[in-house]
Structure 1
Amino acid sequence: MSLFDFVDPARWRIIDRDLDLFASKLGNFVPTDAFDAHAHWYDIRHLVDTGERGKSEDFEPEVGHSAMFQSMLRWMGDRATTEGLYFGYPTRAVDREAENRFVADQVNAHAGCRGLMLIAPQDNPAVVERVLDDDGFSGFKVYHVFAEREDTFKAEQHEFLPEWAWELAQQRGLWITMHMVLPRALSDSRNLEYIQTQCRRYPDANLVLAHAARGFNAGHTVEAIDGLRGIDNVYFDTSAICEPAALEAIIRATGTTHLMYGSDFPISELRGKALSAGDGFLWLYENSFDWDSWPHAQAELVGIESLLALQQACRTMCLNDDDVERIFSTNARSLLGIESTSTSVDPQEQYRRAKAVIPGGTQLLSKRPEMFAPNHWPAYYHSAIGCEVVDTSGKRYIDMSSNGILACILGFADPDVNEAVIRRVHLGSMATQQTFDEVRLAELLLEIHPWAEMARFTRSGGESMAVAVRIARSATGREKVAICGYHGWHDWYLAANLGDAGAEGLDGHLLPGLQPSGVPKSLRGTTLPFAYNRLDQLDTIIAQNRNDLAAIVMEPTRYTDPEPGFLEGVRERADRIGARLIFDEISIGWRLCLGGAHLKLGVTPDIAVFAKSISNGFAMAAVIGNDETMSAAQKSFISSAYWTEGIGPAAAVAAVSKMKRLEAVAKHQPLGAGRGLSSSRLGKTGTPATHLIDSTISEPFLDVPSHLRKIGTLFQEGWAKLGERHGVLVTVGGRPESVLIGFNYPDGNALMTLYTRRMLDYGFLAAGSFNPTMGHKPSHVEACLSAADEVFPELAETIDRGDVQTRIDGLEKHIMFSRLT
């Protein structure tokens, strides 16, 4: 095929079958307001010597908005796009200056359209910058044909995407569409490492990887896409991709906010299809196969084949209409600063609707928007992947707050955990029997905890604590419980607030005003609180209730380390009086140590309870203990149908197994072995996956607790420096794995409210706590602190003026739990 076959509209053959196929298969799929994020406009005379063809009377060299629309109208009907992002057709001999001028004239004549400038490394940056100003281009289109080598398909990205282009994109927030090459595309480590490095170096530049990261061989994108998780300024277009797997992988790894529809006009008007073939790909064009000899198919338009692949990917990923609208329209328009044509969503109005039908507005006190920034905090999320959250209005945030209330230690939507869960969903999540995963999970937990011999499972932390207390009462024949910490909402726990004087219960221990309304008064005196590191208070409880104590229930640690001998003293007292020692590891969980803080602290309980830390956001909880204690569960009725569903165990087996493997890799790698571990997928080969290893960093690979400690320490140190730089008295508390921050002023709570509101404007969910995850990278901490650096001058000013209540409209955030551990 000659270049004219690709670019000359007179040579494109559109037939009735095309319109029929589009109408029957795709008419209800493509929105009427689609925005084309990858299409070419060109003047053929700028691409090649037109010779005799240019002398023909029917030859129309200019292929811009009108020619494109008329051509696509013939097969798309009323779904033909009229708005999009356009750029010249890149050939080795193209007159880039003339092509750019043509595109700019076309774009500026059509509202709702934007253009990219064709650039090459040899261009003068000053001239390029002037053209950006004069013609209003939104960014650059780079292509391998502009690399200064003979075989440009072997060009690395830096050979055709110059550093000065990155610098301009960073300064101006520009869009760069890049068609990478090299035989294995994204799976070539040179490509992957370049993207990781450059996108982190230039976070305000937006890199769009054309053709689903050149996923013409779908496996190349599938294999490496997790290496781009957590890099927020990488996007993808769908142009000319004719198989769904690469698109599915992108949605799986990045959600629906980083993928954009592109037609790749004029390639869309050709007949054929790009196909994976072994470890490469081929283009099967109309003239490359004897279609007449094959009775079962005909060569279809590339545009239709590509849309069918996108449609199948959306089906496989179970997307809804709103998701499809994002891919076809909202994402690209948002990235270009164009007002979306879709109906806008007001998250605050959604929450007002919630409070009208849901008591308290949410199911969890700690997730109420009033706990962060009343009337401003987004209550609902559309997607959450890594540490990026997209709210229901489409706004993206980096979560530098609770991260799922400590429930997603591996980061949101961890691919390995999700893979296990999706497998279980497809195969059935509930049946008359159990899944064997619960046995696997029990064996895994007991292997990690040699002191334990049996396990029971529930689906939430609160009910697991109720089960643990029930087992302890069954084992001892006693009723009273001494507590130290927060252990849920159930009657056995809130009974601590049934005393005549509230301060004797949880008021001075946890959350002032926590009302035990609805808790039977007959439970008064059965739950007795003592403070952390206060053996004297526990001794008082024991002196008064020695023969009635079934259990001592506590978090082994939370934000405070135990004083020497404290936990050992609790253990000794439990043994002495015949009570069971129950460690609540639901929140601190495995942040300090694989298996829980008690293993690190060297004190063994009779029962340990896990929930949030073991299943990465899926409902699952475990109660493990020694045989003498756990066997008492058989003497009591402890049973629930939904404790036998299959999703929770599948998630927990995957999450715990992954944390074990990460620890094994961290322990056995040689110092400095971080580089080079990014080419294989965790769980299939036993080596770390690209989404957990930044292949651009040569530091040693860290296990989960070490990674959390590193990220948390960076944040704590940065927060303290912000206070010093701006003269603001800040507080830094907790521990790196679970950070607490604040302002050391009488109106510190109001100041935190103002800080949270302003950080929302910068795209961060920021609050008085930060729980790092494996989804956080140092670049996220750096970006958050950089945004905070912009906010702190206002904080200093409002402290000086004393007008913080005015700035927050008197809407101060509510008080969270006040923990003593």
Structure 2
Amino acid sequence: MNSKLPDDKTLFDQQLKQFMPPGSFDAHAHFYRPQDAIAGLPPSAENSAGFSGWQEYCEKQELWMGTLRPSAGLFFAIPNPKLERQGANQFVLNEIKDQPGSRALLLVTPADDPAEVEAQIKAGPFSGFKVYHVYADRTDTLEAEPQEFIPEWVWELSQQYSLSIMLHMVRARALADPINQDYIRDHCLQYPEARLILAHAARGFCGNHTTEGIASLRGLDNVFFDTSAICEAQPFEAILREFGTTRLMFGTDFSVSELKGRCVSIGDGFLWLGEQNVNWETSTFAQPARVGLESLLALKQACHTLRLNDPDVERIFCTNARQLLGIQTAPTQNLTQETYKRAKQLIPGGTQLLSKRPEMFAPDCWPGYFREASGCEVIDLDGKKYQDLATSGIGSCLLGYRDPDVTDAVVRRVQLGSMSSLNSPEEVELAALLTELHPWSDQARFCRTGGESMAIAVRIARAATGRDEVALCGYHGWSDWYLATNLPRKSAETGTTLDKHLLPGLEPAGVPMGLSETTHPFTYNDIDGLRQIVKERGSRLAAVVMEPTRYTHPDPGFLETVREICDECGATLVIDEITTGWRLTLGGAHLHYGIEPDIAVFAKALGNGHPIAAIIGKRSVMDAAENSFISSTYWTEGVGPTAALATVRKMQSVNVREHIDQIGEAFRAGWSDLGKRHQLPVKVFGHSVLLHHTFDHPQAAELGTLFTIRMLEHGFLTGSGFYPTLAHQTRHVDKYFEAADTVFAELAQALKQDDLSTRLTTPVRHSGFARLTPSPKS
């Protein structure tokens, strides 16, 4: 043993003092009395036996952590088959009675009377239960299945009272064991108000087990993890990659934390190395450190690998456990709302996207900024969690937020370098894949956003035909070519022509007057309207630009006739698949309807949250792109094409269309049923995969605003649309309508009592484009 190596206090100061934040919360620690013998712990654990309460806990941790030792924690007795549990549980309660920031778990066994346990829960400040394998009715308890030591009434009580269950998994492969996986998944879904804490990073003493099994918990909203006694970074990294920073909680496993040694993964198992089974005198370069210190070093490494910042680390140490246990933290700063107030002073319009303005949902209430997003869960800057049953990133995340397969591909590309003086080979692969999925197409160009991709498509069409004018149907972005439709013209007033095309009130300020009457709108399924445009301007039409569908299917023959008209007049048929693409079929919706355009444009869902847009087309048209200067540096970076490849390949392997159709139809039925039940006039329309919902009432905006506000209070993001994703499950829709039922009851009462306006404490939401600040002319 090398005496020149730093002792634990010195090592903590050198390696961890700048990492560990003050005021940490220990989510896994034991109190015990002298008679509470320790069983089933690593070598030399018996040496730590003795009296240990709050004072001893603080004193022992301060020896090496100093003032950074945890300020509060979640405490419970040490499980032992011979333990006098009533006294042990009471001892834990007594030790925290003067520590208002701490909580206790009740150690229970299958033999306990559930009625007596419920009485204890009601009488004492227990936050949940500690269960342990030694209470299974078998000899080899390390191979016990969870149901052998977790009675069902523990789940039932946890569901009823929103309690936590601390589970130390057993069986040889822990989370990699299908029996454990199935049990956890089934029970977390059956008891959604219960909170399951998987101790020791899902018993990740062998890191491979947590890494291998973590995906089995994907999508569960009520599973959490503590870091206690894990001495390797691997299981922490697996949890952080799968769940982000909000599910992992710092824990010490005191008094195991005070032992000298560590646990190491070996093959498909693990081994505890301690003072009793290792001859440390034979090593020149090692001496045993405390388990607690080894665990902190592993956590630090995981946080570094995942590039977490100080607020992320603070969540793990301080915030997550307190939020889970309902412990009041520092006064709410309302950082989310304050950030938007600041944004309106610094950013014209407040945001980069009109559809993300809080004023479009619930002014002064809508959480305008996210800190984390995963699946269909969004966490704002204040740590509030919401289930997103709105438009899922304005239609950009069809697989759900932070899809693991897409994220893995993107992280690989970023780590290898996403930009250089050379080109990204992924764009060639993506061009081949998109043209393969759309056999009518031959070539592809890429950019990064929907608006610019439509501008490119129109440029190519104009270059290919030598013509200037465009017939259009629907919404196609912010570019001059499109907003020119709202310039003054002989047949319409300024700013009204596009009002029937999704977003009303789009002002053409800054659009050159010379573009007036270069675009000619027609409405969906109005073939006569298009014929009239062609009759008057056909020889000047470069393109007919339209979405294949938006709210309804095309009338029989409509799209086919549009194709024929384009062929007759020589116009390029440009199909905008930015919103519709990948939802009705694998590829563009035009495939679903059997139509071959000349150009099709994709964005939004193509990259599942990463910027990428594609313009695919026939060679006869796309060749014209070489005759026009269409070029930009950041169209050549590698992340966008990489994300698109991963997204499309996943959609090739998973039937996304079938899933989102089922979720959407369930939502449609739920909205209609609630309206009937509460006698509220509602409308729900659009495809199941692109639903829109509102109130059919003169005060629809007021009703919608109050509905959104109340649903925010229930933990849901909702507006006037629902775009289902692969991450949405039936349980999310069911829970949404469970909350919406109470809100609809209030809305019906408000209309009956004619006091809707008095219930609104914020302005009514906007319904289209509007300035956030007074016009300079006003």
Deviation at 1:513, TM superposition (A): 2.3
State the aligned residue count: 757
Greater mean deviation of Cα atoms: 749-758 or 723-732: 723-732
Q: Which of 652, 657, 665 is the aligned partner of 1:660?
A: 652
Rounded Cα–Cα distance in structure 2 between residues aligned with 1:343 and 1:508: 42
| 1:504/1:129 CA distance change after superposition, 3 Å | closer
Report matched runs for 1:104-143 at 5 Å: 104-143=93-132
Deviation at 1:186, TM superposition (A): 1.1
Q: Which residue of 2 is the match for residue 592 of structure 1?
A: 584
Question: RMSD over aligned Cα, in angstroms?
Answer: 1.7
Report matched runs for 1:722-801 at 5 Å: 722-801=674-753
| 1:129/1:393 CA distance change after superposition, 3 Å | same
Rounded Cα–Cα distance in structure 1 between residues aligned with 2:501 and 2:88: 71
1:168 matched to 2:157: yes
Residue aligned with 1:44, SS: coil
Q: Which residue of 2 is the match for residue 673 of structure 1?
A: none
Q: Which residue of 1 is the match for residue 238 of structure 2?
A: 249
1:543 matched to 2:532: no
1:534 matched to 2:526: yes
Structure 1, residues 145-199: CA drift from partner, whole Å, max 9, x if none?
Answer: 1111111111111111111011111111101111111111111111111111111
Paired letter, 1:736? S
Q: Is the 8 A contact 1:805 1:811 kept in 2?
A: no
Q: Which of 469, 474, 489 is the aligned partner of 1:480?
A: 469
Q: Is the 8 A contact 2:38 2:78 kept in 1?
A: no
Q: Is the 8 A contact 2:27 2:75 kept in 1?
A: yes
Q: Is the 8 A contact 1:208 1:237 kept in 2?
A: yes
| 1:411/1:371 CA distance change after superposition, 3 Å | same
Unmatched runs of 5 consecutive residues or more in structure 1: 1-12, 50-57, 663-702
Greater mean deviation of Cα atoms: 736-745 or 757-766: 736-745
Q: Which of 433, 455, 466 is the aligned partner of 2:422?
A: 433
Q: Which residue of 1 is the match for residue 184 of structure 2?
A: 195
Greater mean deviation of Cα atoms: 761-770 or 279-288: 279-288
Q: Which of 611, 614, 617 is the aligned partner of 1:619?
A: 611
Q: Is the 8 A contact 1:499 1:505 kept in 2?
A: no
Structure 1, residues 778-806: CA drift from partner, whole Å, max 9, x if none?
Answer: 11111111111121110110111222222
Deviation at 1:341, TM superposition (A): 3.9
Deviation at 1:343, TM superposition (A): 7.2
Q: Which residue of 2 is the match for residue 582 of structure 1?
A: 574
Deviation at 1:226, TM superposition (A): 2.0
Q: Is the 8 A contact 1:466 1:492 kept in 2?
A: yes
Rounded Cα–Cα distance in structure 1 between residues aligned with 2:379 and 2:48: 48
TM-score by length of 1: 0.90
1:363 matched to 2:352: yes
1:605 matched to 2:557: no
Structure 1, residues 28-59: CA drift from partner, whole Å, max 9, x if none?
Answer: 1111100000001111303379xxxxxxxx99
Residue aligned with 2:504, SS: coil
1:34 matched to 2:32: no
Q: Which residue of 2 is the match for residue 182 of structure 1?
A: 171
Unmatched runs of 5 consecutive residues or more in structure 2: 40-46, 771-778
1:18 matched to 2:8: yes
Q: Which residue of 2 is the match for residue 707 of structure 1?
A: 659
Rounded Cα–Cα distance in structure 1 between residues aligned with 2:82 and 2:431: 66
Rounded Cα–Cα distance in structure 2 between residues aligned with 1:719 and 1:161: 38
Q: Is the 8 A contact 1:620 1:649 kept in 2?
A: yes
Residue aligned with 2:386, SS: strand
Structure 1, residues 409-465: CA drift from partner, whole Å, max 9, x if none?
Answer: 000000111111111111111100011000010111111111100000000011000
Q: Which residue of 2 is the match for residue 306 of structure 1?
A: 295
| 1:296/1:343 CA distance change after superposition, 3 Å | farther
Q: Which residue of 1 is the match for residue 559 of structure 2?
A: 567
Residue aligned with 1:43, SS: coil
Q: Which of 364, 372, 397 is the aligned partner of 1:375?
A: 364
Residue aligned with 1:582, SS: strand
Report matched runs for 1:184-223 at 5 Å: 184-223=173-212
Rounded Cα–Cα distance in structure 2 between residues aligned with 1:816 and 1:656: 32
Q: Which of 246, 249, 254 is the aligned partner of 1:260?
A: 249
Residue aligned with 2:7, SS: helix
Deviation at 1:358, TM superposition (A): 0.5
Q: Is the 8 A contact 1:727 1:796 kept in 2?
A: yes
Q: Which residue of 1 is the match for residue 35 of structure 2?
A: 45
Paired letter, 1:71? K
Residue aligned with 1:416, SS: helix
Rounded Cα–Cα distance in structure 2 between residues aligned with 1:565 and 1:398: 40
Rounded Cα–Cα distance in structure 2 between residues aligned with 1:538 and 1:138: 66
| 1:267/1:504 CA distance change after superposition, 3 Å | closer
Q: Which residue of 2 is the match for residue 683 of structure 1?
A: none
Report matched runs for 1:435-514 at 5 Å: 435-500=424-489, 501-502=492-493, 505-514=497-506
Report matched runs for 1:344-423 at 5 Å: 344-423=333-412
Q: Is the 8 A contact 2:600 2:616 kept in 1?
A: yes
Q: Which of 327, 330, 335 is the aligned partner of 2:324?
A: 335
Q: Is the 8 A contact 1:612 1:621 kept in 2?
A: yes
Paired letter, 1:749? A
Q: Is the 8 A contact 1:556 1:598 kept in 2?
A: yes
Deviation at 1:295, TM superposition (A): 1.3
Rounded Cα–Cα distance in structure 1 between residues aligned with 2:405 and 2:662: 23
Rounded Cα–Cα distance in structure 2 between residues aligned with 1:122 and 1:357: 63
Paired letter, 1:746? P
Q: Which residue of 1 is the match for residue 549 of structure 2?
A: 557
Paired letter, 2:448? R
Deviation at 1:61, TM superposition (A): 3.6
Residue aligned with 1:63, SS: coil
Q: Which residue of 1 is the match for residue 43 of structure 2?
A: none
Rounded Cα–Cα distance in structure 1 between residues aligned with 2:29 and 2:267: 29
Rounded Cα–Cα distance in structure 2 between residues aligned with 1:516 and 1:258: 47
